Amino acid sequence: MTTFKVLRFDPAKDKAPRVDTFEVPAEKGLTVLESLYYIMENHDGSLAFRSSCRAAVCGSCAMHINGKYRLACNTQVETLKSDIITVQPLAHLPILKDLVVDLTNFFKHYDEIKPYIIPDSKLPEKEFVQSPKERRKIDGMVDCILCAACYGSCPVAAGEPGYLGPHALLKTARFVYDSRDKSTKERLQLVAHNKGLFRCHTIFNCQIACPKNLDPSGAIAKLKMKSVWSSLKEILPF
Amino acid sequence: MSMFDVIIVGGGLAGLRAAIAAKESGASPLIISKIHPVRSHSGAAQGGINAPLANHPDGKDDSPAKHAFDTIKGSDYLADQDAVELMTSTAPSAIYELEHWGCPFDRTTDGRIAQRPFGGAGYPRTCFGADRTGHYILQTLYEQVVKQQIPVYEEWFVVSLIANEGTCCGVVAQNLRTGKLEAIEAHAVIFATGGAGRIYGRSSNALTSTGLGMSIPFWAGAHLKDMEFIQFHPTTIIGKNILMTEGCRGEGGYLINKDNERFMKRYAAEKMELAPRDIVSRSIQTEINEGRGFSIDPASGGSGGGYVHLDIRHLGRAKIMERLPGVRDICLEFLGIDPIDSPIPIQPAQHYTMGGIDTDSNGKTAVKGLYAAGECACVSVHGANRLGGNSLLDTIVFGKFSGIKAAQESLESKTKCRIDANALKMTLKQVEAHLQRMCDNRGNENPYQIKLELAKVMDDKVGIFRTGSDMKEALDKVRELKKRFKQIRSAGMITPFNYNLLWLLEMEGNLDVAEVIAMGALARQESRGSHSRRDFTKRDDQNWLKHTLASYTKDGPVLSYKPVTITKHQPQERKY
Ligand SMILES: Cc1cc2nc3c(=O)[nH]c(=O)nc-3n(C[C@H](O)[C@H](O)[C@H](O)COP(=O)(O)OP(=O)(O)OC[C@H]3O[C@@H](n4cnc5c(N)ncnc54)[C@H](O)[C@@H]3O)c2cc1C
Ligand code: SF4
Ligand code: FES
């Protein structure tokens, strides 16, 4: 048996969050997500958590598990090497119920950076020509599953709800470095301010938290450089 | 009470594409999805999407006509040939559109969209982005939805249609965030709720892919078509049944039994590992059944059954890291093995519902004002067996057509389909009462036990190989479970984020769809595509070259049949 200590909170009823304890039979390969289902199906049907793909690609199930940000679905209980597993929602975000957090701000910031390609107005008849080398520039940047682990882990985002956040800045980089996108200048303007790029204190929490091993802090650093360069270019005579 | 021109239920590829098309056609669309669109099952698609672009050096002679022929042959001649031709001739422009919207496809050395070989295809025509194609397309379409400022009610769970004198004019949905039920009116509704794989236990599908999305239109008078045709994917990891894309074999992977033999030579000497899925799945299952597979150590848990090896080691680290990085991650995270060094233990599992809500190529169903597209629909382009890479294509091609048609018709019929306020209130009350009954139920049946028993009987008795007596047993079992489901013990309440209640409602849909699958399968006395009977081993065009239709009645589904559309290709024996 493994003991699960799960944070519970129903803002409509409870004054403060509490921790409920459940026993789940140990089984080889069992994941934290499967354990949560076990709890819902056998102990307490009211336990609320998000899930969908159960294969680490949809971004539904990011949580704080035994002190780290992880996806519940690809975290095997065994690998946590602990008889007690604590499961909490992503930090710093309002709890809607139990492990379900409010991602309104997270997606609002996503919307704010114009998260869509802005190509030349004249489209080619077939595909854009993009060399493999050009395509490789956006490797990793296109793999974000919008799980919000980085956002939850970021102390800056916690203190400043207006801060765009690692995911939105990574998404900006995804378009800035795409050879088909033609709006770098506008994009940099959208993020080069004190609630964007320059709010990031390079704490690297996002990079550590990301369950897909992506590098939002690296992308932010690149964008900072680029934006400094492009403003320099405007004032320098060469 | 809100009012839109077109409501799209579902935020996967089909739903998003339909919404964009409706908006571009001048209508005001609303997307409703029980999960945020980017969480949709479509994002799990790995291998790629088919189009005869002729970008690959070995694919120079490819054409829509050849793509159509492969699809029709793959379908074991049950696909409607006009619909297939429409899909394959639209494919190139549909892919270029995605590319113009920024979809990060892999590239050929000369900078065009890269293509890889896939099962049952005469040429390499599967466009891909590593093994994350579905993720890339889903993100791309969602980006366009943001750009077009299309409203999305995310985490709203649709539980019923609103109908007025047989015309669909909206939906009743539960806002999961508040728990409240609301009626939302529209002049047209498009269902794009995806597949029903979670009726089965061993399935590659997301947990959100359930039968409810097909059963809501079914209860309202739409027909379900060809539901007995369930695709079993040859290669899913043992235990968890997470997919290992056909791209593994497309890139050159082997299937190996315990005698270290590439056994596909016995079953499809020419195409080997790249024969269509129905054939490869049967071959693997035969190896396992005849003792040439590996057996699962019961201590390792999981869903049981035997397995064989998918071996990609010879592709080498570089190619695996470049083309199949997601597959490698899955092996590392879920099996604790690295496919660069070890073969992958795989077994077939339920993967795709070829059947679905009966539609024409504009997505129209038998119910006025109601449309369907994507995996929940059956146009039909996949017939008795879908080719890998054709289903993503299906979602964007027919998603778009249904969006355009629904927009047109809703703009034309604006005044006609209004329902009066009292009738609307009545509908809402009825739905609420139904949910409340579900919550108040204090019988002695455990609903999750019913879910497990359903999954098991479908896995065991309506699986890769079928017999009349097994399927009869399955049908009886499903009917018994339906009865028992009325006696469940539930401690539910209509509250915010009550996923327990959501599951109960989904199970109700699963049971009804399972009944249709089992009935259709039992009735069809032949073997065709994925429907492989040990008691009727041959395809029988004389009697069974026809689509199964199921209609809902209070006393259970009623089956009827309709002809298959044949244009150019007379049925032949299917050899690979
Ligand atoms: C692991 C895997 C890999 C695959 N790989 C490929 C591939 O490489 N190539 C290929 O061509 N095909 C592939 N397929 C098949 C393909 O991915 C699916 O058929 C396709 O994505 C289905 O898209 P869809 O838009 O119809 O539905 P989905 O993407 O499943 O979306 C369904 C939507 O409906 C919503 N919904 C459902 N019910 C309700 C409700 N009651 N109320 C509100 N919303 C609801 C959900 O929230 C979701 O947004 C794969 C399938 C699997 C399982
Ligand atoms: S960058 Fe990583 S942690 Fe952040 S949302 Fe994307 S996948 Fe999640
Ligand atoms: S359930 Fe999809 S990422 Fe975990």
Prediction pTM value: 0.97
Q: Which atom of ligand 2 is nearest to the CA of A209?
A: 3
Distance A56 CA to ligand 3 centre (A): 4
- Please name the amino acid found at residue B18: A
Taken in order B550, B553, B554, B556, is the CA torsion positive or negative? negative
Average pLDDT over every residue of A218-234: 88
Q: Closest Cα to residue B372, out of B183, B196, B141?
A: B196
Q: Is B268 left (phi over 0), alpha (psi -120 to 50) or beta?
A: beta
Between β-strands B152-154 and B29-33, what pairing exists: parallel, antiparallel or unpaired?
Answer: parallel
Taking the Cβ of residue B548 and every Cβ of chain A, the question of whether any pair is shorter than 8 Å is answered with no
ipTM of this predicted structure:
0.97
B249 is catalytic: yes
Helix B64-74 and helix B81-100: axis angle, to 10°? Answer: 120
* pLDDT the model gives residue B299: 54
pLDDT (tens, 9 = 90+) of chain B, 576 residues, equals 567 999 999 999 999 999 999 999 999 999 999 999 999 999 999 999 999 999 999 999 999 999 999 999 999 999 999 999 999 999 999 999 999 999 999 999 999 999 999 999 999 999 999 999 999 999 999 999 999 999 999 999 999 999 988 899 999 999 999 999 999 999 999 999 999 999 999 999 999 999 999 999 999 999 999 999 999 999 999 989 999 999 999 999 999 999 999 999 999 999 999 999 999 999 999 999 999 999 876 555 444 568 999 999 999 999 999 999 999 999 999 999 999 999 999 999 999 999 999 999 999 999 999 999 999 999 999 999 999 999 999 999 999 999 999 999 999 886 556 788 888 899 999 999 999 999 999 899 999 999 999 999 999 999 999 999 999 999 999 999 999 999 998 877 889 999 999 999 999 999 999 999 999 999 999 999 999 999 999 999 999 999 999 999 999 999 999 999 999 999 999 988
Structure tokens, A95 = 């709890």
Q: What is the pLDDT of residues A44-64, one digit of tens each?
A: 999 999 999 999 999 999 999
Nearest CA in chain B to A127: B96
Q: For a pocket test of ligand 1, which of B391, B502, B505, B510 has the largest count of ligand atoms closer than 8 A to its C-beta?
A: B391
Chain-chain contact of A57 with B135 (C-beta, under 8 angstroms): yes
Taking the Cβ of residue A16 and every Cβ of chain B, the question of whether any pair is shorter than 8 Å is answered with no
Average pLDDT, chain A: 95
3-state secondary structure of B51: coil
Contact residues for A193 (Cβ-Cβ < 8 A; gap 6+)? none
A180 to chain B: which residues are within 8 Å by CB? Answer: 102
Q: What's the CA gap between B157 and B37, in Å, rounded?
A: 13
B233 is catalytic: yes
Q: Would you call the peptide bond into A82 cis, given omega within 30 degrees of 0 as the criterion? A: no
Q: What is the pLDDT of residues B219-269, one digit of tens each?
A: 999 999 999 999 999 999 998 999 999 999 999 999 999 999 999 999 999
Q: Which atom of ligand 3 is nearest to the CA of A72?
A: 4
List, as own/partner pairs, every contact residues B262-266 make where C-beta atoms lie below 8 angstroms and the sequence separation is at least 24, other chains included.
B263/B287, B263/B292, B263/B308
Q: For a pocket test of ligand 3, which of A34, A36, A37, A58 has the largest count of ligand atoms closer than 8 A to its C-beta?
A: A58
Q: What's the CA gap between B260 and A208, in Å, rounded?
A: 42
CB nearest A142 (choices: B95, B104, B490): B104
